[in-house]
Structure 1
Amino acid sequence: MIYRTLSALLAFVFVAFPGSHVTLASAQDQGEILLTIGGKAVQKDELVYLISKGKGTETAIPGLSREEFEENFELFVNYKLKVREAESLGLDQSEEFQNEFGSFKETLIAPFLIKNSLEEGELRKTYSRMQEIVRASHILFQFPPNASNEDSLIVLKMALKVKNEIENGGDINTLAVQYSDDPSAKTNRGDLGYFTSLQMVQPFEDAAFGLQIGKVSDPVLTNFGYHIIQVKDRKPNPGQVRVSHILVRFDPQVPAQEDNARRKISDIYSEIQKESTVWEDIVKTFSEDPGTKENGGLLPWFGIGAMIPEFEMAAFSLNEIGEISPPLKTQYGYHILRLEGKKQLESFEELEESIRSRILRDSRSSMIQSQVVAVQKARYGFKENEENLSKFSQALNETPKSSFGAVLESSNFLSTELFTLQGKKFNGSDLWRFMQEDEYIPRGNGGTFDVWYERFVSQVLSKTEEQDLEANNKEYGMLLKEYRDGILLFSLMNQEVWQKGISDSLGQVEFYRKNITNYQWKNRVEASIVRVIDQTKLESARKALQNSGFNPTVFQNFESNFKANSPLAFTTESGTFEYQDHQVLSKVDLNLPYQELVVDGSTFLVNLGQKIPAGPRKFEESRGLVIRDYQEYLENTLTQKLKGKYPIQVNNTVKEEAFVALNQ
């Protein structure tokens, strides 16, 4: 609930002014104190940052007038007074605040993290690769089960031998049939067709996109084994295509079935050539694809690498909408395709979230995290004690978590150094404390110490980066402070003003009595008003209304009748109205009980009743207005109370510097 309201609240803390662009102060100016509130310092940069951020979006007008600046300065002081009071009341220590602020921090910090810049780089690289499609062939050399280092070396030597054969004139597709451990090589001869980024595992993709046409890669290690890759072609990505199709199936093990399917698809193709043929009818009658035959054979949009190569090649070779392909054979049967649409690759902005989601689901996620840790270690002076780490690993990798602390203590490892970071030492007891607090359940391979140590280092580095950002990144620090103080402001206002204004019924009544002159009716009249939209119904409406004056029963009967029989012929309203500023009633003769008049091109039938002179509203009639005004009164009262509670001292020299900064 706070999140939905906070952004709107912060937007109105300051008076917006257009056309200003402010750069945060240099490092030597950042500590300048603009004012103190109850002895607590407030820096100049905070005022400059918040006022400049609150600027409007209108056409730029250079500078900020003295009057605008003083108005904003007064609002800023009132804002900081309330934040000071919220802190004094301990609202920043509440569990609700900690949860809200923690959630905000996770969102706010993301764009400033090393991880974000590395992810952005990977996103851009991926999109750049998506501009191109690559056709490659490969030979896979798999490791035997439970392979030893010696086994792995034998596989590597075999891959290098085959690579040498290809470079000396051997054909990779012929050699794939002979050597490849990829089961599909028996049918595709190692030809993978065209693909683009994110369609192969990362090491394979990196190697393929790094090769020129005809070149052969060194052995590329993936989870499947070693690959030898040769790029056969590269060309621009054609985007996406949409086709509908007719499918005639056959069992490839039964030659007679294939002959029958070939004759049938040829007959269908001949039938399609006739001008009187309706594609959807032919699909419904003859196609053997149960998933598409009822919708004209329509398939989803797809790009390169999404379909089997033969189907894909035929689809992308079609150029004109409605163009039909000759019959083609795939492993599923014989097809005839019709082109339904083509579109270019979407923009980076359109694909960004999709690319991000796919990257974070594959091995690139681990790669990015490894890079993050490496950068953090270099930036913050991370140094491991390799000798001690070896001891920990030997003693604790076979130890379950439940016994980890006891073994640490019995081995005298609690005070043994693991690493230093920014000069601070981290030892075994720090690791054990982290393990006790973290609910992580290790999965996969890895010894107990190695798994927990890696997780501990990552967490310490992340916290160090966060603390470094708060201390040294001015933009992030200001943003964080803005939202922290904004949540406190919201909490205080909700507690002292908004909820109190709504729930304090005695206070509302007392405020109403003291300010009753603000809650007055102007001259009013009872009236029912009918706007005639369908002029053919005017006469029937006139007959129903012209002899009644203001009569709620007659009016209700009229409404019930037209809603049942002519719901679009009229619009109506009825009640007691302040007539002086009313669009229609301001133009009537108050002495006539029924009248017709035309206002702004529309015909109105008006019945008038009792005229009521100006006078005070009842409390019940004014409650909404009273609550609004009472809340404003409570806020003003709170501000004045806080000004008396917390002495304010302003450094006028620094204040003038802020004014100058906002006008640069």
Structure 2
Amino acid sequence: MHKYFLVVVFSFCFFLNYAQNSIDEILFTVANDPVYVSEFTRVFNKNIDLVKDESQKDVDEYLKLFINYKLKLKEAETLGLNEKSSYKNELANYKSQLAQNYLTDSKVTDELIEEAYYRTINEVKASHILIRLADNPSPQDTLKAYNELIKLRQRVINEGYETVKNEVHDGKTIYAEDLGYFTGFKMVYDFETAAYNTKVGEVSMPFKTRFGYHIVLVQDKRESRGERTVAHIMINNSRKDSLQESAKQRINDIYLKLQQGENFESLAKQFSEDQSSSSKGGMLSPFSGGQLTSIEFENEAFSLEKVGDITEPFQTEFGWHIIKLYNKKSVDDFESMRPELEAKVKKDSRSQLINSALTNKLKKQYLTPEEQPDLSYFVSILNDDYFSGRWTLPQDFKANDPLVKIGTKQVENEAFGNFIVKNQRRNIPKIDFNRLVSNNYEQFLEKELLQYKEEQLEVENKDYAYIVEEYRDGLLLFDLMETEIWNAAKKDSVGLNSFYSNNKENYFWNERVDAVVASSAKKATIKKVQKLLQEKQTPEQIKTLINSDTSIDVIFSSGIMDAQHQSLPKDFEFKTGVSDVYNFNNAFIVAEVKQVLPKELKTFEQAKGAVISDFQNYKEANWILDLEKKYKVTINKEVLTKVKSQINN
């Protein structure tokens, strides 16, 4: 839990100082530091519904709380708590985490989430041909692969996919594969997009992924089948058995035993030859359409309608199977899946589309040129050491030359030069230096734009500014209260004992009873219990007589209870013996009071928790009086009158 949230309890979630409008009036000052009307009214209106104490809904009373809050902040700054490295680090980490919610393009994100949902509820069946390319391929290799796939595409259209597949697939540089059905997030995003954008029966134009260039043939599209959880019993096709029993005969014998009512899980453990699942009663991990290599197995699993149903024996390339259905799950609606889809989108390669959209938006916002600046100087200072991770900036590097301007910030060569140094990796394939520098610059500019946006957030976004200020002050108050009040009060044993001695009248046990209380929904039952208690039967004996293995008609509670105890009605009479029957909480109760305990003083140890809390409040009240003397508070009465008028209207 963040420290701030603990402070909320003590400071009423005050949202604080944001840049003030020049016409905003000063409501009061603390040691000449101004506090503006807009800040007070914003805090008052935001928190008024959260305040349970009616007196604090009065403007004057609330103003006292707010002044006390400002006095504490002033003291924290005077003590230098805002200069502590631990405070600065925690605040910086929080700001960075919070900023991520504002550093995104919501429109593009929403579109990608909606697209992801459509692709989750619809499956594509496809085959593809891939020509593998090395990392950072040359333009010549790229063009060659593209042109080759144009030819293969035409052949697939004219001759059919199977013919071309059998001829070109070598499993090394060219892959021709049937992919079966798949949904969103099962393939890399570029491949997924090409498949979903290609009509059934058509072949896409060549497109690039990180693996190389592809064409994709879309054979079918259908609604998603959802998810299934099944167990299976499998007998291998090539099984060896001294009885010379065939796999088909073996599976049929097992199926007959199932028909006779024998337990599926037990039979799977005894006879299934799938070693990965037999010990678990044949249980498999949940799967959705297109996830399994065996289409036959998947189709059989999805053909089962009711949980507990089993298939007849069927054969796949792995052997003979019987499947039992344990759970079936349809695809959830969009709103239910939205959080999960958003998380996947932001982790997936498609998140780069969000980053690119935001980068383009920030370029326009901060008047950053779309075209790259002249990067020839960086090309000129690179050498082959870069590809072994040993390259460094030259001694005469022009670090202070301007590179690009982002808003009011002038970015110089030094920042980009250091970025290139940090971005180098050992043993990477060699590429043209112009491409290398250009690629690095795009990554560098995106990073710089996001960093500049984060630096400007407190000025540009009021919501962000309010939350940061709230957290900033919350951290200060936590450290201050912990040091000055909470820890100090707990450690001051002399002060605690003295406070207890001077305020003993606040620490008494109220009148209590040592009792056993019986409760039942039936009045007749509780009357029977009353009679049994009068006959000196114990609760254990009574439960034996009234309750059974299949029915609980009476429940007992026992212990020391005061008038507010949940087991006792408000009009319960505190006297020894078996009580009358009371109608209480839509049930009936009777109690056996063994002893009535009079009101008595709590010992220090018994009252310690309450004493510490009260002592902390006492110390804080006196501390506030000291702060009022230390920091002069001046209220603008005329402005306060106007504030009251505005709030009350």
TM-score (ref. length: structure 2): 0.77
- Secondary structure in structure 2 of the residue aligned to 1:410: coil
Residue in 2 that maps onto 1:341: 327
Distance 1:215 1:58 in 2: 65
1:54 maps to which of 47, 50, 56: 47
Q: 1:488 Cα deviation (Å)?
A: 1.2
Q: 1:126 to 1:101 in 2, by over 3 A?
A: same
Check if 1:377 corresponds to 2:363: yes
Number of equivalent positions:
603
Residue in 1 that maps onto 2:167: 178
Q: 1:263 Cα deviation (Å)?
A: 4.8
Q: 1:179 Cα deviation (Å)?
A: 2.7
Distance 2:419 2:195 in 1: 42
Residue in 2 that maps onto 1:555: none
1:78 maps to which of 68, 86, 90: 68
Q: 1:250 Cα deviation (Å)?
A: 2.6
Taking the TM superposition and a 5 Å limit, the aligned residue runs for 1:48-197 are 48-54=41-47, 56=49, 67-114=57-104, 119=109, 121-143=111-133, 148-167=138-157, 169-181=158-170, 190-197=177-184
Distance 1:171 1:383 in 2: 49
Distance 1:316 1:659 in 2: 68
Q: 1:91 Cα deviation (Å)?
A: 0.8
Unaligned segments of structure 1, at least 5 residues: 17-21, 543-567
Residue in 1 that maps onto 2:304: 318
1:505-529, Cα deviation, whole Å (9 max, x unpaired):
233344445x43644647979x865
- Secondary structure in structure 2 of the residue aligned to 1:128: helix
Judge conservation of contact 1:245–1:337 (CA < 8 Å) in 2: yes
- Secondary structure in structure 1 of the residue aligned to 2:465: helix
Distance 2:60 2:51 in 1: 21
- Secondary structure in structure 1 of the residue aligned to 2:127: strand
Taking the TM superposition and a 5 Å limit, the aligned residue runs for 1:483-562 are 483-513=471-501, 515-516=502-503, 518-519=505-506, 521=508
Amino acid at match of 1:40: D
Q: 1:529 to 1:272 in 2, by over 3 A?
A: closer
Q: 1:288 Cα deviation (Å)?
A: 1.2
Stretch moving more, 528-537 or 96-105: 528-537
1:180-239, Cα deviation, whole Å (9 max, x unpaired):
4558999xx733111100001111001111122223211011122211112222222121
Check if 1:204 corresponds to 2:191: yes
Residue in 2 that maps onto 1:643: 628
1:527-558, Cα deviation, whole Å (9 max, x unpaired):
8656689886876679xxxxxxxxxxxxxxxx
Q: 1:339 to 1:15 in 2, by over 3 A?
A: closer
Taking the TM superposition and a 5 Å limit, the aligned residue runs for 1:584-595 are 587=573
Amino acid at match of 2:364: A
Stretch moving more, 384-393 or 527-536: 527-536
Stretch moving more, 98-107 or 449-458: 449-458
Q: 1:114 Cα deviation (Å)?
A: 2.0
1:471 maps to which of 459, 476, 481: 459
Judge conservation of contact 1:36–1:649 (CA < 8 Å) in 2: yes
Q: 1:291 to 1:317 in 2, by over 3 A?
A: same
Stretch moving more, 154-163 or 351-360: 351-360
Check if 1:631 corresponds to 2:621: no
Amino acid at match of 2:328: K
Distance 2:262 2:280 in 1: 16
Distance 1:516 1:156 in 2: 89
Taking the TM superposition and a 5 Å limit, the aligned residue runs for 1:350-365 are 351-352=337-338, 354-355=340-341, 358-359=344-345, 361-365=347-351
Amino acid at match of 2:410: K
Distance 1:516 1:651 in 2: 39
RMSD: 4.6
Stretch moving more, 485-494 or 137-146: 137-146
Q: 1:222 to 1:598 in 2, by over 3 A?
A: same
Q: 1:119 Cα deviation (Å)?
A: 4.7
Q: 1:100 Cα deviation (Å)?
A: 2.4
Sequence identity percentage: 29
Judge conservation of contact 2:310–2:323 (CA < 8 Å) in 1: yes
Amino acid at match of 1:321: V
Q: 1:391 to 1:322 in 2, by over 3 A?
A: same
Q: 1:279 to 1:54 in 2, by over 3 A?
A: same
Q: 1:225 to 1:65 in 2, by over 3 A?
A: same
Stretch moving more, 315-324 or 449-458: 449-458
Q: 1:340 Cα deviation (Å)?
A: 2.9
- Secondary structure in structure 1 of the residue aligned to 2:331: coil
Judge conservation of contact 1:156–1:226 (CA < 8 Å) in 2: yes
Distance 1:170 1:30 in 2: 79
Judge conservation of contact 2:203–2:218 (CA < 8 Å) in 1: yes
Amino acid at match of 1:314: E
Residue in 2 that maps onto 1:562: none
- Secondary structure in structure 1 of the residue aligned to 2:350: helix
Judge conservation of contact 1:522–1:578 (CA < 8 Å) in 2: no
Amino acid at match of 1:606: K
Judge conservation of contact 1:385–1:419 (CA < 8 Å) in 2: no
Q: 1:522 to 1:569 in 2, by over 3 A?
A: closer
Amino acid at match of 1:170: E
Residue in 2 that maps onto 1:36: 29
Judge conservation of contact 1:384–1:418 (CA < 8 Å) in 2: no
Distance 1:624 1:145 in 2: 67
Q: 1:165 Cα deviation (Å)?
A: 3.2
Amino acid at match of 1:54: N
1:399-432, Cα deviation, whole Å (9 max, x unpaired):
6788735x1x424x12222221114322234456
1:329 maps to which of 310, 315, 324: 315
- Secondary structure in structure 2 of the residue aligned to 1:190: strand
1:442-480, Cα deviation, whole Å (9 max, x unpaired):
577488977876665444323211122110111111111
TM-score (ref. length: structure 1): 0.76
Distance 2:643 2:114 in 1: 39
Judge conservation of contact 2:515–2:591 (CA < 8 Å) in 1: no
1:267-309, Cα deviation, whole Å (9 max, x unpaired):
555x268454554454344421123334442322211222123
- Secondary structure in structure 2 of the residue aligned to 1:404: coil
Distance 1:382 1:264 in 2: 73
Q: 1:444 to 1:51 in 2, by over 3 A?
A: farther
Residue in 1 that maps onto 2:379: 393
Judge conservation of contact 1:133–1:194 (CA < 8 Å) in 2: yes
1:558-599, Cα deviation, whole Å (9 max, x unpaired):
xxxxxxxxxx9883459xx999xx97999456xxxx855557
Q: 1:421 to 1:649 in 2, by over 3 A?
A: same
Q: 1:146 to 1:631 in 2, by over 3 A?
A: closer
Judge conservation of contact 1:48–1:661 (CA < 8 Å) in 2: no
Distance 2:25 2:171 in 1: 68
Q: 1:55 to 1:468 in 2, by over 3 A?
A: same
Q: 1:578 to 1:282 in 2, by over 3 A?
A: closer
Residue in 2 that maps onto 1:238: 225
- Secondary structure in structure 1 of the residue aligned to 2:159: coil
- Secondary structure in structure 2 of the residue aligned to 1:139: strand
Q: 1:117 to 1:631 in 2, by over 3 A?
A: farther
- Secondary structure in structure 2 of the residue aligned to 1:628: helix
Amino acid at match of 2:611: V
Judge conservation of contact 1:509–1:619 (CA < 8 Å) in 2: yes
Judge conservation of contact 1:531–1:602 (CA < 8 Å) in 2: yes
